[in-house]
Amino acid sequence: MRLQEINPSVKAGAVVIAIILLAFAFDPVTPLLVLLGSSAAACRFGGVSVKKWLLCLSPFLLIAIGYVWSAMLFGRVPSGAHAQILWSFGPLQVTAAGVSRGISLGLRVMSFAALSLLFVLTTSPSHFMFSLMQQCRFSPKIAYGILAGYRFLPLLKEELAVIRTAHRIRRMGVTGGWADQVKQLGRYAIPLLASAIRKAERTAMAMESKGFTGSRQRTFYLRLSVTAKDWLFLAAVVAFVLVSFYISGRLGQLSWYSGEL
Amino acid sequence: MIGVRDLTFRFAEGEAPVLHGVNLDIQPGDVLLLLGPSGSGKSTLALCLNGLYPEAVDGVLAGSITLSGRSLSEYRLGEVCREIGVVFQDPESQFCMISVEEEIVFGLENLGMPPEAIEKVAGETLDLFGLTPYRRAPIHSLSGGMKQKLALACVIAMKPRILILDEPTASLDPHSAREFVRLVKRLHHEEKLTVIIIEHRLDEWMDAANRCALLDRSGSLVFEGDPRSAFAFLQERPDAEGVCLPEAYKLGREWMARGIYRGSLPPITEGELVSGVGHPAMAEALLDQQEADWRAEHKRSRGGMKPAGPPLLAAERLAYARGGVQVLESVDLCLYSGEWVMLAGRNGAGKTTLAGLLANVLPLQKGRICFAGKELESWNESALRRRIGYVFQNPEHQFVTDSVYEEIAFSLRLLQWTPEQIDHRVAELLECCRLTGVAKAHPFALSFGQKRRLSIAAMLANHQDLLILDEPTAGQDAHSTEMLMSLLQEVTGQGGSVCMITHDMNLADRYADRIVLLDEGRIAFDGPPNELWSRQDEPWKAAQLLPPFRWSLRKQFQAAADAGSRRECHAAAGD
Amino acid sequence: MSRWKLKEIVMMSVLSVVFAVIYLLFLQLGNVLTGFMGPMGYEVIFGIWFIVSVIAANVIRKPGAALLAEVVASIVELLIGNAVGPRLILSGFIQGVGAELVFAAVRYKRFGTPVLMAAGMGSAVTSFIWGYFISGFAALAPGYVAAMFAVRLISGALLAGLLGKWICDALLKTGALRGFAIASAERNQGRAGRGESLA
């Protein structure tokens, strides 16, 4: 079985359910297990190379570190508990509870990211749109409208690069201060947006000239369906999260997020 | 087949009409050229014909349009496309899917075709257009020419009876444009398609077009009839500026007046022109005379000075690779003061990359470039930018302010000119680029021709020594192109040098001191125009260029003259 | 769905793509900020997420535009490969609701700067409630959370509302919005203004 073959809507649903389930837990072990599990699945069943996986995940490590850091310093101090102070600097105190909380938060971010990447790296954009239309009764007008805009991604990236060079030349090597740099961003954005909007109008016109009305009465050359293996995938994802809960519980680590509120 | 009665169209209630009381009938099998200066409402008319307007823009339409005897307003949404297909100008903005096959399938699904039928039709269409190898290719990866071919394929797959082409070749290189036109002509013959064409460059279409309709600036239909009469009509009208007459017609008229062309009616195709000339040797001599006149005028424009002295810019052994592909390889090139060099070559030959390296816009990878005797890399950025100007392909990309006046004043302000100096220089440039009337307008709101002139004016502001331009004439009408060329002629006249990328070999032939031909990242030729065309190994052929009209005529006359003299020899021998 | 024109939807979609590209320039900044400042780093630039719905609502001026634009934007982000993943569609919906409520409160009649800023803040409110649950802000000290909320509100008002207004005005001048409701509203206003001065 390959993850690419799973129906995109079901795959998206499974990932969202897993994330919502995970949001209830608040401990380091559950998200760690899910993080490891989805990494293994992506590399084993998704054909994603380990290098690419780590590369995509790495920005989240930075964010996670930020969470750890601030939870350690600004974490809510449990009232009445004997806070075990590990380290202090002036008014700042780092407690054992704070550290554990920070790590939980950080791993939570990482596990969400891993589940999401599992979807993103194994799903073709057009198949996802087809599936939304066919399985979720998503409006074709919106689905094709989205695809039409998405197509412009590489073009707009190139355009931005050209605009930046062009402006560099116009400015003749004169660089302004910080405020000017911010203004400069606006000077890039407006031409980029203006040309994108005009392209959008033309594209919409071209689509309508090919008889696209946005009506749901259309045929599909590529029919996507939901089969037993898709339900199996959904069940496997949910089961994995539940098993993680169980293991964490057995290790005495599991705590519920609602308790924190 | 299509009947238009008293069609008046406005974009909004209370605005001036874009189309004004248009009456037009289109018969099955017609190939109709829809002509008019830019802004005359040609595209608007086309979009009214296929029922997209007025709904798409909330416009106001008066009068009636009938298609196959039924009023267009009686057609259901999305039904007209079974009869009429459209190919638009911009290859980037007429697709909505990721891959080639998906895009063809999209239209068929819109028709409600069952999947089995779609498979068959899509397969046949891919074969017909030679796109089968690209079936799964992302559309983004195709060249401009291929994209337009795909746009045509998508429309033809839906089996319309009428095809509307809205400047489909405007952004293509000449070779791809010719291919595209040939494909349409073939479809016209084989499928009995009715074709409506909006186009600036008419030459390629002349042997197929049977009718012409002319719109004027106010959006009124001023003429309708066969192409020859249409051109005759156009020549009488001073406001016909912007419509580019076929080269064969222009020259034919001239030669008719001088008695060299013997036909009773002026020619509209190259073939007609050649066969109507009685004395080929004389025609050949005339062409050479015309060329000599050009060169003389060119020389006069710069006060008789010849580009000389040490090179302004010297590039040695340039090489450039992008994403593992060698774009340029061992390129040597010199540019002199007061010189006009045209950079030619097919799409992807490395022209823009070379121009980018010369302007120090791209980082130098291998080789060295000296500008004014100093290595490009050791120049301080701001000093260099004051001496080298670069005009991008899309003028909008380099607009940095929100008025035409400010756009030109921008660099002068950076150079800390006094307000009086700035005012004076800006007024001067506005005048010479004919932009004075729009000084307060937003640069983006200008017409395409005005935008281009503004982008050049902004670059000329502080008298740069070297001006590099990337396809400045692409998509410009005849009038606009002419204005641009005289602007650049002034630059070289003042001792500046111009290096310009172009696909238009008529322009290159007319204005270039030297043509530099790039082919697959190497310089295939570097020398004066005449030398390029007369080279035995025909390097321009390999680079998929079309030789200028003048040259291809000259060759035909030469051949005719040779054949004539051979006949005389034979006759003499026979005695 | 028939009340939406295709060009309006494609416009929302390309707006999202453009902001995704511009956001790439921001993202590094956001990541670095977060690395140093924790979740607060993101709060500072959070408002930029809502800008598409503010611009779309102001340009299209139809009920539901803010909500639909934010949903479309989130799907586009997802297609582009945003690692927040399918959950993004949910967040997009929730953010869109916030802005939509503000526009509904003025009955889709007013699109001045204060309304647009309020719309940005509306998205900030709904998104923060959602974020509180999903991102585990509860683990942080209440004072810190309150500060985060305040920063997000300001960011929503400035980066979505004010910046969105500025971008719409600048785009209007370029003529690119000619075919949308904002341009005809501007025209009518201009006409009404002239009428008054004549009277």
Quick one: which of A241, A249, A261, A259 has its CA closest to A31? A241
The reply to whether B476 falls in a domain is yes
What pLDDT, on the 0 to 100 scale, is given for residue C195? 46
Q: How far is C145 from chain B (nearest CA, A)?
A: 41
- Choose among C7, C173, C184: nearest Cβ to B56: C7
Residue of A116, A131, A187 to mutate, testing the C interface (most C Cβ within 10 Å of its Cβ): A116
- In this prediction, residues A219-247 reach a mean pLDDT of 94
Q: Which amino acid is at B569?
A: C
What pLDDT, on the 0 to 100 scale, is given for residue A260? 44
- CB < 8 Å to A203, chain B: 93-96
What is the chain B residue with the closest CA to C79?
B98
The structure tokens listed for B261 are: 């062309």
Question: Tokens 């670059």 appear where?
Answer: B459
pLDDT at B323 over 60: yes
Cα–Cα dist C74/A150, whole Å? 12
- In this prediction, residues C3-21 reach a mean pLDDT of 89
pLDDT at A257 over 90: no
- CB < 8 Å to B57, chain C: 179
Lowest mean pLDDT among A171-175, A205-209, B42-46, B497-501: A171-175
As a three-state string, the secondary structure of A72-108 is HHHECCCCCCCCCEEEEECCEEEEHHHHHHHHHHHHH
Q: Read off the pLDDT of residues B93-118 as tens digits, 9 standing for 90 and up.
A: 999 999 999 999 999 999 999 999 99
Cβ of residue C110 closer than 8 Å to a chain B Cβ? no
Cα–Cα dist B561/B282, whole Å? 9
As a three-state string, the secondary structure of B162-215 is EEEEECCCCCCCHHHHHHHHHHHHHHHHHHCCEEEEECCCCHHHCCCCCEEEEE
Number of domains chain C contains: 1
Cα–Cα dist C136/C132, whole Å? 6
Chains touching chain C through at least 3 C-beta pairs below 8 angstroms are A, B
- CB < 8 Å to C178, chain B: 11
For the four alpha carbons of A179, A183, A185 and A186, in that order, the dihedral sign comes to positive
Q: How far is B100 from chain A (nearest CA, A)?
A: 12
Lowest mean pLDDT among A135-144, B559-568, C66-75: B559-568
Q: Which amino acid is at A16?
A: V
**Contact criterion met (CB < 8 Å) for A116 and C84:** yes
Cβ of residue B416 closer than 8 Å to a chain A Cβ? no
The structure tokens listed for B183 are: 């494909």
Instruction: With beta carbons less than 8 A apart as the criterion, state whether B460 and B467 touch.
Output: yes
- The reply to whether omega before B54 is within 30° of 0 (cis) is yes
**Contact criterion met (CB < 8 Å) for C175 and B57:** no
What pLDDT, on the 0 to 100 scale, is given for residue B333? 94
Lowest mean pLDDT among B222-231, B320-329, B331-340, C138-147: C138-147
Q: Which residues contact B402 (CB under 8 A, 6 or more apart)?
A: B442, B443, C170, C173
Q: Which domain holds residue B486?
A: 338-361+377-543
pLDDT at A79 over 80: no
3-state SS class at B544: coil
- CB < 8 Å to B94, chain A: 202-203, 206
Q: Which residues contact B208 (CB under 8 A, 6 or more apart)?
A: B31, B185, B188, B195
Indicate the average pLDDT of chain B.
88
Cα–Cα dist A193/C166, whole Å? 13
- Main-chain dihedrals φ then ψ at residue B327, nearest 5 degrees: -85, -40
Lowest mean pLDDT among A159-168, B230-239, B287-296: B230-239
**Contact criterion met (CB < 8 Å) for A221 and B390:** no
What pLDDT, on the 0 to 100 scale, is given for residue C30? 64
- In this prediction, residues B156-172 reach a mean pLDDT of 91
Cβ of residue B444 closer than 8 Å to a chain C Cβ? yes
- CB < 8 Å to C83, chain A: 56-57, 59-60, 113, 116-117, 120
What pLDDT, on the 0 to 100 scale, is given for residue C198? 39
What percent of chain B stands above pLDDT 90?
A: 46
Number of domains chain B contains: 2
Cα–Cα dist B563/B556, whole Å? 10
- Of B129, B159, B189, which residue constitutes the final position of a domain? B159
CATH code of B446's domain: 3.40.50.300
The reply to whether C63 falls in a domain is yes
- Of B124, B159, B194, which residue constitutes the final position of a domain? B159
**Contact criterion met (CB < 8 Å) for A260 and C11:** no
A256-261: long-range contacts at Cβ-Cβ below 8 A with a sequence spacing of 24 or more? Answer: A256/A24, A256/A25, A256/A26, A257/A23, A257/A24, A257/A25, A257/A26, A257/C136, A257/C138, A258/A24, A259/A26, A260/A26, A260/A76, A260/C136, A260/C138, A260/C139, A261/C138
3-state SS class at B17: coil
Residues 94-153 of C with CB under 8 A from A: 133-136, 138-142, 144
Cα–Cα dist B17/A216, whole Å? 36
E strands within B11-83?
19-26, 31-35, 60-67, 70-71
What pLDDT, on the 0 to 100 scale, is given for residue B432? 81
Side-chain half-sphere of B386: how many Cα atoms within 13 Å?
10
What pLDDT, on the 0 to 100 scale, is given for residue C196? 43
Chains touching chain A through at least 3 C-beta pairs below 8 angstroms are B, C
Q: Read off the pLDDT of residues B239-261 as tens digits, 9 standing for 90 and up.
A: 555 678 888 998 998 899 888 88
Q: How far is B402 from chain A (nearest CA, A)?
A: 10
Quick one: which of B471, B253, B276, B528 has its CA closest to B355? B471
What is the chain B residue with the closest CA to A124?
B98
What is the chain B residue with the closest CA to A209?
B81
Lowest mean pLDDT among A101-105, B156-160, C57-61: A101-105
Q: How far is C178 from chain B (nearest CA, A)?
A: 9
pLDDT at B393 over 90: no
Q: Which domain holds residue C84?
A: 6-198
Q: Which amino acid is at C161?
A: G
Cβ of residue B56 closer than 8 Å to a chain C Cβ? yes
Query: What number of other Cβ atoms are within 10 A of residue B563's Cβ?
Result: 11
Please provide the size of chain A in residues.
Answer: 261
- Choose among A63, A194, A207: nearest Cβ to C6: A207
Cα–Cα dist B444/B402, whole Å? 8
What pLDDT, on the 0 to 100 scale, is given for residue A25? 80
pLDDT at C125 over 50: yes
| DSSP secondary structure code for residue B465 in this structure | S
**Contact criterion met (CB < 8 Å) for C184 and B58:** yes
What is the chain B residue with the closest CA to C171?
B444
- In this prediction, residues B210-222 reach a mean pLDDT of 90
Lowest mean pLDDT among A167-176, B135-144, B514-523: A167-176
B196 pLDDT band (50/70/90 cuts)?
Answer: very high
**Contact criterion met (CB < 8 Å) for A71 and C78:** no
As a three-state string, the secondary structure of B228-281 is HHHHHHHHHCHHHCCCCCCHHHHHHHHHHHCCCECCCCCCCCHHHHHHHECCHH
Lowest mean pLDDT among A148-157, B329-338, B554-563, C92-101: B554-563
Domain boundaries, chain A: 3-124+225-260, 140-209
Lowest mean pLDDT among A179-193, A213-227, B40-54, C185-199: C185-199
Highest mean pLDDT among A198-212, B271-285, B466-480: A198-212
Beta-bridge partners for B516:
B343, B526
Cβ of residue C194 closer than 8 Å to a chain B Cβ? no
CATH code of C60's domain: 1.10.1760
Cβ of residue B90 closer than 8 Å to a chain A Cβ? yes
Q: Read off the pLDDT of residues B14-34 as tens digits, 9 standing for 90 and up.
A: 888 999 999 999 999 999 999
Q: What is the ipTM metric for this complex? A: 0.87
- In this prediction, residues A93-111 reach a mean pLDDT of 79
The reply to whether C1 falls in a domain is no
What is the chain A residue with the closest CA to B156?
A210
E strands within B56-110?
60-67, 70-71, 84-87
